[in-house]
Amino acid sequence: MSKTITPYQNEQATKKEQVADMFNNISKTYDFLNHFMSLGIDIIWRKKAINELKQDQPKLILDVATGTGDFAFEALSILKPEKIIGVDISRGMLDIAEQKIAKRGLGDKFEVKLGDSEKLPFDADGFDAVTVAYGVRNFENLEMGLADINRVLKPGGKAVVLEFSKPKAFPIKQLYNFYFNYITPGIGKLFSKDSRAYSYLPESVAAFPDGKNFVALMDKVGFKNTKCRPLAFGICSIYTGIK
């Protein structure tokens, strides 16, 4: 990655602090806008990512950048693990996740805590699987974050990362760029108090080292059997690796 893309370019705060502020600002409209702007397709992509763990039957899962918990709730229903722990740097997002956990009576199965993806508050070799959905492009130091995910996995454990990527085929690439650069910020501005958050989205995706570059980073920090599976003509990708 060349330069660091941050939500609020004129601020002196670190990317991490700005990302936390941004998600605190948009937490109340986040779920609605996510499903609305992706036409609900994000739910299908999440299921596909979770199904990567079906054969592994993980008992203890860590969901990094858990946000409001949607990915973890889906993983609970599909994989039936004993427990999922979610970490996120945004207190506002975790407040929404905790409300959902209480409402669904899942306090014994899913807990969330404030935590930094690059200094995960867990011992080494503890989790059967680690998942990250739409979170890695917000890491301040991507390599450090991936290395820490590797650290907390048990030997033989699997990491599954779901993230936006950049489609290359005509006309998907052109349609995608138009939607992401013009429609998304407009919708975000309409429904969210923080319009900058939805301009940051296409910028952060454009700067993200997707495909082979991301797989190379996973290899570099020690993952084995790394794979990239593009979805929807490359709009999104699922990355997997084994410790």
User: Per the annotation, where are the binding residues for S-adenosyl-L-methionine?
Assistant: 68, 88, 116-117
Question: Hey, what are 73's tokens?
Answer: 């709730």
Question: What is the number of residues in the chain?
Answer: 243
Helical ranges in the chain per DSSP H = 15-37, 41-51, 70-79, 91-104, 142-152, 172-178, 184-191, 195-207, 212-220
Task: Please give the helix or strand (H or E) that residue 230 lies within, else none.
Answer: strand 224-231
In the block, tokens 């454009």 appear at: 206
Q: Binding site, residues?
A: 68, 88, 116-117
Residue 90, phi-psi category: left (phi > 0), alpha (psi -120 to 50), beta (remainder):
beta
* 129 within 8 A of 56, measured Cβ to Cβ: yes
* 172 within 8 A of 234, measured Cβ to Cβ: yes
Distances 158 to 30, 126, 137, 208 between C-alpha atoms, Å: 28, 12, 19, 22
**Angle (deg, nearest 10), helices 195-207 and 15-37:** 100
